[in-house]
Amino acid sequence: MNQSTGVDDTFVRTRTALHAVAEHVLAAARHRATGRIGLAVTPGGFGTPPFGDERRTIAVDGTDLVVSVGPGDGASGVEVTRAPLRTLAAAATLAGLPAPGGPAEVYHLNTSCDPDAPLAVDVDAARLLADWYALGDAALRRWRAEIPGDEPSGVTLWPEHADVAIRAADINYGASPGDEYIAQPYLYVGPPAPPPTSPDGFWNASFGAYLTWDKVHSVADAVDFFRQGRRLARG
């Protein structure tokens, strides 16, 4: 990846806008149909798993919203509609919602819902975020295959924090796009609180440990970080 060590205002605005889309459009649509909120990493960004009788999927691909309706297995008859992300209201309409609005009854929403405010989504920042999600998703899938005895959960992108994560043997592993506490995108390991101490300073946050994206150059780097966290958490 070619990301710099820092993040600028354009990146933060893009991250915030896409987080709002995740909460107020994608998670909202899936929850309305199924009662579930979990999303998944998809090419160019993230999206819902197929849901409903029509196997609808709603995804962010770069700076576009893409809605697919149909078999979802490569068969003919799939209808695909794509439009640039302009406002939450327009995205909700494309997704088949009467209005945008996240599932506040499930969790505390972390982004505001201003239906007609322009979504500030920059193409380069969106690509960097998509690349980070793809690396995190691949690393988590490789890691969960390495630790079947820990009974890892499936890989899920959770809309409340916009992070892709798994839980295995009471430890959370994930990749975050960054937040108000850690500005850069980062990997994390979250053991049961309080975090254990370690002489090398691995545990560097109240929730456990994090590693910012400028120090992660490959899927193997990410898996090594998860592996080290598991080893130290187990003492």
Indicate if the alpha-carbon torsion angle 72, 74, 75, 77 is positive or negative: positive
pLDDT higher than 60, residue 72:
no
**Greater confidence, 4 or 200?**
200
For the entire predicted model, the pTM comes to 0.93
Please state the rounded mean pLDDT for residues 67-85. 82
pLDDT number for residue 2 = 46
Q: What is the pLDDT of residues 7-25, one digit of tens each?
A: 899 999 999 999 999 999 9
As a whole number of angstroms, the distance between CA 22 and CA 203 comes to 30
**What is the rounded CA–CA span in Å between residue 107 and residue 105?**
6
